[in-house]
Chain A
Amino acid sequence: MTVTHPTMTETEALVVPDARNARRRHRRYLYRDGKIAYWLLLPAVVLLGIFVIWPALYAAYLSFHDWSFYKAPEFVGWRNYTNVLTDPLFWAAIGRGFVFVAMTVPPMLLLAFGFSSLVVAVARRFAGALKVSIYLPTIISTVITSIIFVVIYDYSGGLLNAFLGLFGIDPVAWLGDPKWALLAIAIPAIWLGMGLTSLIMVAAMIDIPTEYYEAAAMEGANWWQKTFFITIPQMKNIILYLLVTGFVAAIQQLDLPLVMTQGGPLDSTTLPNLFIFNHFTNDVNVGYSIAAALLLFVVLGTVSALIFRFVNSERLVD
């Protein structure tokens, strides 16, 4: 099959002042690449359809059923949803998710901002070394990260407690004490996430035209003023983007608590996805966990939209 473009002579020959024909020609021109495009899109669309879209629809369907895999699915209407919504452990997990986000996203953004400010102010070689170092942890898998930090956090022989011991501080059960465990997981989460966040911020900061700074310098602005009135507003879009993506990623954290603490102690590290995962593993029927996953999706989407709207409208237009 060959693709033809209407040549000048062809269109001239078709001079018919008929609106419908013109529209048809226009559409044919607009959609001229149809056949090729569909072939090119086929693999991606097929894959997305089978492995993403269909499972999403199927999940919605199954959430209204009880299914134990050994008997046929049994329709139960809204019961799974009401069970999840009235389960205090579900809400506790959601709450914990938000706490975890608060523990990881703002510190990461602040550190990344500090990092970026540093990178733009130092010599190229140093900047390069900084960028490579900060990004390297991103390459490390969550499993290996968990292994490293579990050893560091060990109660009686771990690095952290030994270090604190030098200052006379008693050993802390980082992973055994419900007060500390969530924070203990937040640290490796920040460590892993810093790379991407920081480098995106660096790229955005470099993009700010230096004229603004020079103009400010001439008016005698100091670093703080420059930052508040130029840097931050200029980076508004990026900061918003990082905030939303950071939130979405943090609240969906599964690997770290799964491998490091299995949700304990006392559920203090049972983040929403782990809650769902545990239910899937332990429940006889699968409907509850799927309903919980869909409810989490709703929470995620709502909060993301809220953040977006809120931050967008609050910012001064530059």
Chain B
Amino acid sequence: MAVVAQEVAAIHRRPQRTTSWWLYAVGKAVVGAIFIVASLFPLLWLVIAGFKSKTEVISTPFQFFPEVWKWENYAQILGDPTFLLTMGWTFLGAVLFTVLSLTVNSLAAYAFARLDFRFKRTLWTIVITTMFIPGMTILLTSFIVVTDLGMLDSLAVLVIPGAATAAMIFFIRQFYLSIPSSLEEAAMLDGCGRLRIFFFLFLPLSKPPFVVMGITAFLAYWNSYVWPILTITSPDKFVVQQFLATFRTGRGSSELGLLMAGSVLAAAPVIILFLIFQRQIIGNIKMAGLK
């Protein structure tokens, strides 16, 4: 009895806090800190630089912190009507793009996941093939296509062409495939048709993939650069990255503090969005990885 009790106690005894345990713990903390610092440092640098005057961002001798914290930099950028217009315009486009993408791709994903129809395999192969066509191959000719369609220099050319993506269809389809068919069967017994099932069953369940894919789409739009520089020529229709790039070679080449502040403000909305939804995004990353 006593022997058994001793063994039981041994199993439950806490691990010894030996020196090697402490070294291990400290080591983990240090390595972890290095990762965190390496990831966040450039951003921290950007934010601090946003407070510097134009001669302090790149200066000899080098200064890490500004002499005077110029809040005016941020005020100046926020007071620039073109900047605000660009941010608003980009935000609108990003929302439209996200909604359009989610709609178009989820409908297709549902069809491929749950419906049976002729040519299903062929169509699926075609969709998957588009996933492997590199962007540069079609960049030039899709530019010609949108030109012929007269879409240049408008919100349409940024929102419509990229809305359907095989990757998103694939991702959402994976999710739909994992929804147990017993739910559908129950609905069908109640007399629901395929369409009803989609709207009233699948759609409400789609929150996880929609959050992940929605953020991805929003981010893709917000950060887009190459396609806009080809297709958007009027400065008042620029996307936010275009604005920054133009500012960088223009006034921002000497007004570096302003450029840094502008960059921070341009990144702010998506960072905030990420921080709000970080749990869902990070939690669902594995779905993006598994095939």
Residues of B within 8 A of A156 (CB): 58, 60
Q: Which residue of chain A is the closest to B57 with respect to CB atoms?
A: A151
Can you name the residue of chain A whose Cβ is closest to the Cβ of B145? Answer: A55
A34 within 8 A of B: yes
- Asked if B138 and A55 make an inter-chain contact with CB atoms under 8 angstroms apart, the answer reads yes
Binds A, one of B11-19, B32-40, B77-85: B32-40
In the complex, number of A-B residue pairs with CB atoms less than 8 Å apart: 263
By beta carbon, the residue of chain B nearest A242 is B289
B contact set with A: CB distance below 8 Å: 28-29, 31-32, 35-36, 38-40, 42-43, 45-46, 49, 57-62, 103-105, 107-108, 110-112, 115-118, 120, 123, 126-127, 130, 132-142, 144-146, 160-164, 166, 169, 188, 193-195, 198, 219, 222-223, 225-226, 241, 244-245, 248, 256, 259-260, 263, 266-267, 270-271, 274-275, 278, 281-282, 285-286, 288-289, 291
Separation of A31 and B194 alpha carbons in the complex (Å)? 13
Q: Is the CB of A133 within 8 A of B116?
A: no
User: In the bound complex, how far is the Cα of B35 from the Cα of A118, in angstroms?
Assistant: 10
A142 to B266, CA, bound (A): 12
- What are 17 A-B residue pairs whose CB atoms fall within 8 Å in the complex? A36-B194, A41-B108, A43-B107, A54-B145, A114-B31, A118-B28, A133-B40, A142-B225, A147-B244, A148-B263, A156-B60, A202-B285, A252-B136, A258-B226, A296-B136, A297-B133, A297-B134
Which residue in chain B gives the minimum CB-CB distance to A301?
Answer: B132
Residues facing B in A95-154 (CB within 8 A) are 114-115, 118, 121-122, 126, 129-137, 139-145, 147-149, 151-152, 154
- Contact between A118 and B49 (Cβ–Cβ < 8 Å)? no
Chain B residue contacts of A118, Cβ below 8 A: 28, 31-32, 35
User: What are the nearest 4 A-B pairs in CB distance?
Assistant: A203-B286, A162-B62, A157-B58, A141-B223
Contact of B145 with A58 in the complex, beta carbons under 8 Å: yes
Whole-angstrom distance between the Cβ of A110 and the nearest chain B Cβ: 13
Chain A residues whose CB sits within 8 angstroms of the CB of B141 once the complex forms: 54-56, 58-59, 62, 290
User: How far is A311 from B195 in the complex, measured between Cα atoms in Å?
Assistant: 43
* Chain A: interface size category: 35 or more
Cross-chain contact of A152 among B39, B42, B139 (Cβ < 8 A): B42
Q: CB-nearest residue of chain B relative to A161?
A: B62
The answer to whether A86 has its CB under 8 Å from any CB of chain B is no
Residue of B nearest to A276 (CB): B136
A133 touches B39 (CB 8 A): yes
List chain B residues, Cβ under 8 A from A248.
134
Distance between A68 CB and nearest chain B CB, rounded to angstroms: 13
When chains A and B are docked, how far (Å) is the Cα of A200 from the Cα of B271?
20
Contacts of A180 in B (CB 8 A): none
- A212 at interface (Cβ–Cβ under 8 A)? no
A137 touches B39 (CB 8 A): yes
Mostly helix, strand, loop or mixed at chain A's interface? helix
Closest to A280 in B: B140
Asked if A6 is at the interface of the complex by the 8 Å CB criterion, the answer is no
Bound-state Cα–Cα, A151 to B133, Å: 35
Q: Is the CB of B289 within 8 A of A238?
A: yes
Partner of A45, one of B123, B188, B225, B274: B123
Residues of A within 8 A of B39 (CB): 133-134, 136-137, 191, 194-195
A187 to chain B, nearest CB (A): 10
Interface pair A154/B104, CB less than 8 Å apart: no
Kindly list chain A residues whose C-beta atoms are within 8 Å of the C-beta of B133: 52, 56, 297
- Quick one: given A144-B266, A203-B285, are A53 and B136 in contact (CB under 8 Å)? no
Contact indicator B226/A255 (Cβ below 8 Å): yes
- Chain A residues within an 8 Å CB radius of B127: 44-45, 48
Q: Which of A2, A141, A158, A273 contacts B222 (CB 8 A)?
A: A141
Looking at the assembled complex, report how far the CB atom of A64 sits from the nearest CB atom of chain B, in whole angstroms: 13
